[in-house]
Amino acid sequence: MKWVGCWRAKFLLALHLVAVSAQSELFEEDLTLRPLRDGKLAARFSFTTLLKGATPREPQTLSRDDEAQHYTLFPLALGQLLREHAVTELHLTLNAGKWNYDHWGYPDEPGVGTGAELWVWMGDTVPTSVDERWQGVRHSLAGLFCASLGHLDEQRTTSPALTFQPEGFLPNFTHPHQLRHATLPSEHVCTENLTPFLKLLPCKSLSGIAGLLNPHRLFDADWHGLGVHVRYREGAGVEVRLAFQAVFDPVRYSPDRRRDWSLHSVFDRTIERACPVARSGKVRVELPLDTSYTISPGPADVSDSTATYVVDSGKEALDVAMSWPDEHEFNYPATSQAPPLTDISVRRNLKGTSQAEARLTLELTNNLPVQVSAGYLETMPWHLQFYLHTLQARVDGVSRDDLVRIVSYTQPVPHSRPALLQAVLTLPPRATLQLVMDVSKPFLRYTEHQPDAQRGWDLPPAVVVSFAFGGANGSEALQDAGAEAEAETRGRRPRRMYTPVMLVDLATPDFSMPYNVIIMSCTLIALVFGSVFNLLTRRLVVVRVAGPEHEREREAEQDAAGGSAKKTR
């Protein structure tokens, strides 16, 4: 009996070891620092946990109990959330500030729309619909990240599948995957969002690169945003990438307005020790090409104008510092010497002074010498309603409606559904395309106003994706334009760009009016009812009021009557 029991235990142990090794986890951390030409410093933290061999949950299995999941490094709270709602791909970003594409170029993380943005690819299923699980995902994430994501309800949810393609692989489930996307531009980001973010990391903020995440400095940055990205990589497993991006201004911190920076001057911390469970921890610094600078300590590796440092527990605390010894006070580059750093520049405005209608204008400038095709996405809540037939496109004042092709338009339903406009725009080389459209501002119901109604409503950013370079006559156009154009377009890939959010001022009522109306109508009713009631029921009788002589006579009569009454008793 003992031998049988021992055999069983050994078999179970072997099975467990096989299971553990089959589903092992990998954690890597990375920090990229990029000095920008206007003296600022862009920092991108990326913490990637890969759950090897795992697959997203098939939505058909939601009615049954899930198989047990064992996580060591993979964040448990997030993993449970993903399994509970059978989510294949999830992207959540919480950003604050306006990303200046012209001066800062493309961000390392493309999702830079201000406020909260959540988009999820989920497989469809019959018992619990995608919309129910979408609500569950929103509320669970709201609880996990202390953000008011519960407001991302049907009034802000759309399905722009053309722009938000999955970044990972969508497995072949019984029913196809669906996309749900929502933005909340008025969401604030603060320490309460960073706290649970850090708790999802294996080493928290105690060791490793995450130790640099000092909220007092991060939330002082000119632009900051945190992101959670979950995707399924076929053949590898489920990957969770927690990212934090920020743009700091060393010139502002420096007493003599120099753009020298170090980890200590920017974050007020250094990397003390490496995270023991991280397979690799790297700090990458992009080296400036056109000025003389010094960088300390000496990097482990310099390749392709990027210096790489390895975060190692053996060495002392890592404090990367870069300085420009030949410069004194930093001189901001003149606009003429600072061309835009992106392929296209986008500007979106709302023009008009009326509270009933306005004009939405979008200006796209093509900075390349070749034709660019760009996808334009507007997920506009019903607070601004488009008159699509008034859409006009102009290049240099000349009407060019052929450059706009509307792919899909979903009409907004007031009080319940937002508008979804997806269009393809063709931008001529080195030209500015102007789109103008009339919009109207609807009335809101009395209870739909926000508590600070006079501020207005934030409108979500438009997304522009430049996806095709060179135009319809692809290679011929490139040959004509020359080698310069070819060099420009080689290696370019579709990148999302977000416009800034807009604030729309809708007609706000006088909120004291219900009180005024109730008081006035109650008063009127009381007066009218009271008067009519008195008129109908009150009997008016004439009462003779006697003079002083008659008073004495009456008193004498009363005494006599009183005396006789006493006698009869």
Residues that bind other proteins (CB under 8 A): 96, 135-136, 139-140, 142-144, 146, 148, 150-151, 187-192, 195-196, 205, 214-216, 218-220, 450-453, 511
Q: 312: which 2 tokens?
A: 């190692």
Find the Cα–Cα–Cα–Cα dihedral 526, 531, 535, 536, rounded to 10°: -20
Q: What distances in angstroms separate CA 539 from CA 99, 542, 543, 546, one per listed residue?
A: 81, 10, 12, 21
For other proteins, which is the closer residue by CB, 148 or 296?
148
CB of 98 to other proteins, least distance (A): 12
**Residue 521, Ramachandran bin (φ over 0: left; ψ between -120 and 50: alpha; else beta):** alpha
Smallest distance, other proteins to C-beta of residue 458, A: 12
The runs of H, that is alpha helices, within 299-392 are none
Query: Residue 205 gets which letter from DSSP?
Result: T
Cβ neighbours around 262 below 10 Å, total: 15
CB of 498 to other proteins, least distance (A): 20
Distance CA 203, CA 200 (A): 9
Q: How far is the CB of 500 from other proteins (least distance, A)?
A: 15
Question: E-strand spans in 311-431?
Answer: 321-323, 344-351, 357-366, 372-380, 385-386, 392-395, 398-399, 404-410, 419-427
Nearer to other proteins, 214 or 308 (CB): 214
Q: What are phi and psi of 291, to 5 degrees?
A: -130, 165
Which residue's CB is nearer to other proteins, number 143 or number 352?
A: 143
Q: How far is the CB of 248 from other proteins (least distance, A)?
A: 12
We find the least distance from the C-beta atom of residue 249 to other proteins, in angstroms, to be 13
| CA count, 13 A, side-chain hemisphere, 300 | 11
Query: From the centroid of its chain, how far is CA 442?
Result: 25
**Helix/strand/coil (H/E/C) assignment for every residue in 397-424:** CEECHHHEEEEEEECCECCCECEEEEEE
Strands 280-286, 25-35: pairing is parallel
At its nearest, how many Å lie between other proteins and the CB of residue 203? Answer: 15
Q: Could you tell me the smallest distance in angstroms from the CB atom of residue 135 to other proteins?
A: 6
* Nearer to other proteins among residue 122 and residue 420 (C-beta): 122
Number of other residues whose CB lies within 10 A of the CB of residue 9? 10
Contacts of 176 (CB under 8 A, 6+ apart): 123, 124
Q: Which residues have a Cβ under 8 Å from the Cβ of 190 and sit 6 or more positions away?
A: 215, 219
Between 418 and 470, name the residue whose CB sits nearer to other proteins: 418
CB of residue 69 to other proteins, shortest distance in Å: 19
356 vs 513 by CB, closer to other proteins: 513
The tokens for 70 are: 């064992």
Instruction: Name the residue among 146, 95, 144, 41 with its Cα closest to residue 460.
Output: 95
| CA 157 – CA 379 distance, rounded (Å) | 8
State the minimum distance, in angstroms, from the CB of residue 252 to other proteins. Answer: 12
